[in-house]
Chain A
Amino acid sequence: MLKDITIGQYYPSVSFVHNLDPRTKLLLSFVFIASVFIARPYNIGYAIIILMTGALYIISKIPVKMIFKGLKPIIPIIIFTVVINLLFLNGEIVEIRWIDGETVPLRWWIFKITYEGINYAVTIIIRISCLIAGTSLLTYTTRPMELTDAIETLLSPLKKIKVPVHEFAMMMTIALRFIPTLIDETDKIMSAQKARGACLDNGTLIQRAKALIPILIPLMISAFRRADELALAMECRCYNGGEGRTKFKQLRISARDMVAASVMILFLSLVIIVNKFNIGWFLV
């Protein structure tokens, strides 16, 4: 059950995208996010965005079904926002024309369906889906350690104003590193308490909340124990922060990164141009 969470997961494979420098991938993800926000549904901008997302998955050799797996947990959020926008947004109310020529506006009590609402709902579905799919690609193709390394290097100028960049990066690395461990641990504790007759999946809301206590307390205790052990182990190996610490894996920008950056900048420009001149509006 807990193993179904794909956000933040790494998908091992060998591809052009996997081999990119993590800094490039991180920065280009922002370019991608910007493009998604710039594109508008009134022209072919969204078609370009969707095609690009699909193309990125294919280049990364990640099965397209992973997109849907990643979207699954946020489907309720999407449905909620879509329904709210569809029913409440102000604007020109949609009218349905019956066969006898009579027109009926789609409104009932405080609900109404407007053209703006429909438009906005479609925008939201595409925007959120592409955002999640595109940004998941970053973690699918980048190991957590590489990612924190990238963040650390990119933020290192902030060290000048005494921001503990290395410490933040280390904290993130550790947090990411322990997600699978804690998931495993939760699974184990759940099994153990189930074996003692704990009932986790039925009862009233209060009963269910209470049923979590036998799982959360051991989990917290083990998290603290692990933290303690890890701190000791790090101290034993003379860890004392970022000062003078060298890196095992040096990040290097290669021609590959240049190609990727050019492609993404081209993509961003395309989206901006399409948006500016409203290209393809007649198709939609």
Chain B
Amino acid sequence: MAVIEIQNLSYIYNPGTPSARVALKDFSISIEAGKFVGIIGHTGSGKSTLIQHFNGLLKPANGKVLIDGIDIWEDKKTLKKLRLEVGLVFQYPEYQLFEETVEKDIAFGPLNMGLEGEELNISVEKAAQFAGIDSEMLKKSPFELSGGQKRRAAIAGVLAMHPKILVLDEPAAGLDPVGRRMILEQIKNYHKEQKNTVILVSHSMEDIAKYATEVLVINKGEKLMYAPTNDVFRQSAKLAEIGLALPQITRVFHDLIEKGYPLRPDIYTIADAKNEIVRIVREKNQI
């Protein structure tokens, strides 16, 4: 069953003023439960606008947003409950930390949900564990942490709410490669263990290729493609048309193929690339 269903959604920023701008037009998509969906598209293509509709932060000008088959704007009372089921991690989430200690900050969401006592402690602890925050860090002020640690603390604050759907807007932006991999691996583990739906907005084709099972391509507020990751990357011409490049490793492979190496063109991750190279080296040795 579709956990998120968007029907003919349109959204306009600053309607009725000289700076009015259509961010999404007639957008429809249906996302199945348990998927790891990557969203790609240019800056200003409507990615962030779209994900803010998932938990009702933005109200569509037209169209419907259904979570678990329920129209979230039908009844205002259900809106708050649904908002808690969709955990949204904004870009640069570390700027929203405010509590005295990391622990208290992570507990902010669960407290708003009405969790108490042991239940609260467990959810905070588990979220911290998933985000790679140790007990020593939990007692520190969030402002003493490094950039990457802050980011993880902020993500833990959303994980602690046990969202059915976890939406992350560029969670790895501005981090070094180690911090990047750490955060994305933790999200992947969380997805594997909790079997929830994860939606990841990213500019990095490499990250999308590595983690996402499906990819949604947005261009100028419209859906260009929504398909399994490999199917999307196979359409390299279509992606190039809107100025999106394939993962670096794929481009390297395409160049090698042009030079006459008998490699497969549908290689999108480093791990696959290694296997493919090993394969052709073995084949060569056998001959």
Contact = CB atoms under 8 A, between A and B. Distances in A.
Interface of A: 3, 12, 185, 188-189, 191-199, 213-214, 217-218, 221-222
A199 B14 CA distance: 24
A191 B109 contact: no
B157 to A, nearest CB: 6
Q: Which secondary structure dominates chain B's binding surface?
A: helix
Q: Which secondary structure dominates chain A's binding surface?
A: helix
Interface in B144-161: 157-158, 161
Contacts of A217: 98
B179 to A, nearest CB: 19
Given A194-B83, A197-B84, 9 more contacts: A191-B90, A195-B55, A195-B57, A195-B87, A196-B96, A196-B112, A198-B112, A214-B98, A218-B97
B96 A192 contact: yes
Interface in B137-189: 143, 157-158, 161
B21 interface: no
21 contacts: A3-B14, A185-B95, A189-B95, A191-B90, A192-B88, A192-B93, A193-B96, A195-B55, A195-B57, A195-B83, A196-B108, A196-B157, A197-B109, A197-B113, A198-B112, A199-B80, A199-B112, A214-B96, A218-B95, A218-B97, A221-B143
Interface of B: 14, 18, 52, 55, 57, 80, 83-84, 87-88, 90, 93, 95-98, 108-109, 112-113, 143, 157-158, 161
A143 to B, nearest CB: 15
Contact of B90 (A12, A188, A213): A188
A196 B109 CA distance: 5
Q: Which 9 A-B pairs have the closest CB atoms?
A: A197-B112, A217-B98, A196-B109, A195-B88, A192-B96, A192-B90, A214-B98, A191-B57, A218-B98
Nearest to B160: A196
A197 B97 CA distance: 14
Contacts of B14: 3
A193 B112 CA distance: 10
B91 to A, nearest CB: 8
B112 A195 contact: no
With a 10 A CB-CB cut-off, give which of A189, A192, A193, A199 has the most chain B CB atoms.
Answer: A192
Nearest to B55: A195
A12 B17 CA distance: 11
A30 to B, nearest CB: 29
B83 A197 contact: yes
A19 B108 CA distance: 51
A59 B156 CA distance: 56
B98 A196 contact: no
A193 B84 CA distance: 11
Nearest to B158: A196
Contact of A195 (B95, B97, B98, B158): B158
A188 B55 CA distance: 15
A140 to B, nearest CB: 12
Contacts of B57: 191, 194-195
A40 B161 CA distance: 63
